[in-house]
């Protein structure tokens, strides 16, 4: 009998001895599970943190292509409305030396009385101020904004494309898109952006120039060629087809390339130069100085091409849309220099510069200020 009891006791002892071992095993496993859970949590946190570092928390729409495009169009519209009378004055000055205008005035003066002829002769304005006052006196103050509608349409394409394309090329040529480009790279970007933008916007520019000259034609007793932007557009298409919308586009593109070489390149270069050399922050003073320099250089570079462009686009055409006065930009340049001298290429330079300076100032201040208001980075 003692033997079974011993066995039972031994079994109980064994069982009892194994219980603490199981508890110890459970207790030992608990910290391990806790540690594993903690490690998994840390790993998840690190992984989650890593995902946040790789993916931005918030997308900056203010620096997007679409937002930059809209801001540039708005800023250009503000500048165009503020300085458009100077553009009209500049166009009248450039056109009045043209052979067609002189011949038209002479024939009209001979066909009318001496009093009327004297009044017509007064339309040959001398200088920017006399031209502006003559337009107000003989056509009305609101005529200073004649043709502003197609001018605004033009900037929907022109300003948006030139600013965004220049910005994209600048970012591709620099590491972070904010460094100053070398002058030759900036010049290449400015010429390319201006040429592409102006070629796309050339139809609106053609309509604008033709509308600007209608007030003068009516005062000279001639029948109006167009009655508005839509009518001018339809008439151009009827006479020359879709291709006729790009009449004068070559000198137009040449002018835009030179103007943006002066405007975009000068503004970008001078702005970063002032900030770097004078240790100034990106402020209104820097914007004002850079935009004034940009307007002056743009006027010097673009006035000769602007004279050629304006004369080609304003010349009468035949049924096929071909010009009656000039065969092209080279022929217009040759005739202008041959008949009126080299100085004629800078006819209207003063109003051109006086317009470009406030236009550039208004545009860049508006552009930079709007970008600052919406939280975009400095241009």
Average pLDDT over residues 8-33: 43
Separation of alpha carbons 146 and 134, rounded Å: 15
Digit-coded pLDDT (tens) for 236-293: 888 888 888 887 688 778 888 988 998 999 999 999 999 999 999 989 999 999 999 9
Separation of alpha carbons 42 and 20, rounded Å: 33
Q: Rounded to 5 degrees, what are φ and ψ at 377?
A: -75, 165
Q: What is the pTM of this model?
A: 0.66
pLDDT of residue 193 exceeding 70, the answer is yes
Average pLDDT of the chain, as a whole number: 75
Digit-coded pLDDT (tens) for 303-362: 888 788 778 777 877 776 677 888 877 888 888 898 888 888 888 787 678 878 888 999
Alpha carbon of residue 224 to chain centroid: 32
The HSE-up count of residue 32 (CA atoms within 13 Å, CB side) is: 6
pLDDT of residue 197 exceeding 90, the answer is yes
Angle at 329 between CA 251 and CA 73, to 5 degrees: 15
State the pLDDT confidence band at 212, using cuts at 50, 70 and 90: low
Q: How large is the C-alpha radius of gyration of the chain?
A: 36
Separation of alpha carbons 193 and 198, rounded Å: 9
pLDDT of residue 270: 93
Digit-coded pLDDT (tens) for 255-267: 889 889 989 999 9
Residue 247's nearest CA partner among 255, 257, 256, 237 is 237
């Amino acid at each position: 009998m003692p033997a079974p009891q011993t066995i039972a006791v031994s079994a109980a002892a064994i069982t009892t001895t194994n219980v603490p071992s199981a508890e110890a095993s459970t207790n030992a496993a608990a910290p391990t599970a806790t540690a594993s859970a903690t490690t998994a949590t840390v790993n998840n946190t690190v992984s989650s943190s890593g995902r946040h570092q790789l993916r931005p928390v918030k997308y900056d729409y203010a620096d997007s292509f679409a937002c930059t495009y809209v801001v540039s169009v708005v800023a250009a519209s503000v500048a165009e409305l503020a300085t458009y009378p100077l553009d009209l004055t500049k166009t009248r000055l450039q056109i009045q030396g043209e052979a067609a205008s002189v011949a038209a005035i002479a024939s009209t003066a001979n066909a009318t009385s001496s009093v009327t002829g004297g009044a017509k002769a007064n339309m040959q304005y001398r200088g920017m101020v006399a031209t502006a006052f003559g337009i107000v006196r003989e056509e009305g103050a609101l005529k200073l904004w004649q043709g502003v509608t197609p001018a605004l349409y033009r900037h929907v394409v022109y300003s948006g494309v030139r600013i965004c394309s220049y910005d994209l090329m600048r970012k591709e040529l620099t590491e972070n898109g904010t460094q100053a480009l070398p002058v030759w790279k900036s010049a290449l970007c400015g010429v390319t952006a201006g040429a592409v933008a102006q070629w796309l916007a050339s139809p609106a520019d053609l309509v604008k120039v033709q509308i600007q000259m209608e007030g003068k034609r009516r005062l000279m007793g001639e029948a109006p060629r167009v009655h508005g932007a839509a009518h001018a557009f339809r008439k151009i298409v009827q006479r020359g087809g879709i291709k006729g919308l790009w009449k004068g586009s070559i000198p137009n593109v040449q002018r835009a390339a030179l103007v943006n070489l002066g405007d975009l390149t000068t503004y970008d270069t001078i702005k970063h130069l002032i900030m770097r050399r004078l240790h100034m922050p990106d402020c209104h003073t820097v914007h004002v100085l850079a935009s004034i320099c940009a307007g002056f250089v743009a006027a010097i570079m673009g006035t000769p091409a602007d004279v050629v462009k304006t004369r080609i686009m304003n010349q009468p055409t035949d049924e096929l849309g071909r010009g009656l006065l000039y065969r092209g930009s080279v022929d217009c340049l040759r005739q202008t220099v041959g008949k009126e001298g080299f100085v004629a290429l800078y006819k209207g330079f003063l109003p051109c510069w006086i317009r470009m300076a406030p236009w550039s100032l208004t545009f860049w201040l508006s552009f930079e200020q709007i970008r600052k208001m919406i939280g975009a980075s400095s241009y």
